[in-house]
Amino acid sequence: MTHKQWPLWEIFIRGQHGLNHRHVGSLHAPDAEMAINNARDVYTRRKEGVSIWVVPSSEITASSPSEKGPLFDPAESKVYRHPTFFDIPEEVGKM
């Protein structure tokens, strides 16, 4: 059989107005329009969304698991980026 498999698409759904689109899964479709149609049928049957993005999976560049250390470890030692690092006396009031 000469059948060519449809490309894979990653599906992002905005759950409610004001929220970010979130990755919900993937599906196969011949083109973007069909990917949106299928995403509607598969991922929003219970009013889970108000907007859909579809992106060809092949267009996504991901960080590799082996880079986890160099990418994310440096943030570990920079706890002063969080407000809780600083003790503010109670007398000062809400800050």
Partner 1 sequence: MYAQMIKSEGTKREDMSPQELAFQARIDRGEKIEPKEWMPEGYRKTLIRQIGQHAHSEIVGQLPEGNWITRAPTLERKAILLAKVQDEAGHGLYLYSAAETLGVSRDELFEKLHSGAMKYSSIFNYPTLTWADMGAVGWLVDGAAIMNQVPLQRTSYGPYSRAMIRICKEESFHQRQGYSIMMTMAKGTPAQKDMAQDALNRFWYPALMMFGPSDKDSVHSEQSMAWKIKMNTNDELRQKFVNETVPQAEYLGLSVPDETLAWNEEKQGYDFAEPDWSEFFEVIKGNGPCNRERLEARVTAWDEGAWFREGLSAHAEKAAAARMAAE
> Which residues of the chain form contacts with partner 1 (CB under 8 A)?
1, 3-6, 8, 25-28, 30-31, 34, 41-42, 45-46, 62, 64-65
Nearer to partner 1, 31 or 88 (CB): 31
Q: Scan for tokens 């943030």, then name that residue.
A: 75
For partner 1, the closer of residues 64 and 84 by Cβ is 64
In the chain, % helix, strand, coil (3-state, to 5) comes to 40, 20, 40
Distance CA 65, CA 55 (A): 22
Q: Name the minimum Å distance from CB 83 to partner 1.
A: 29
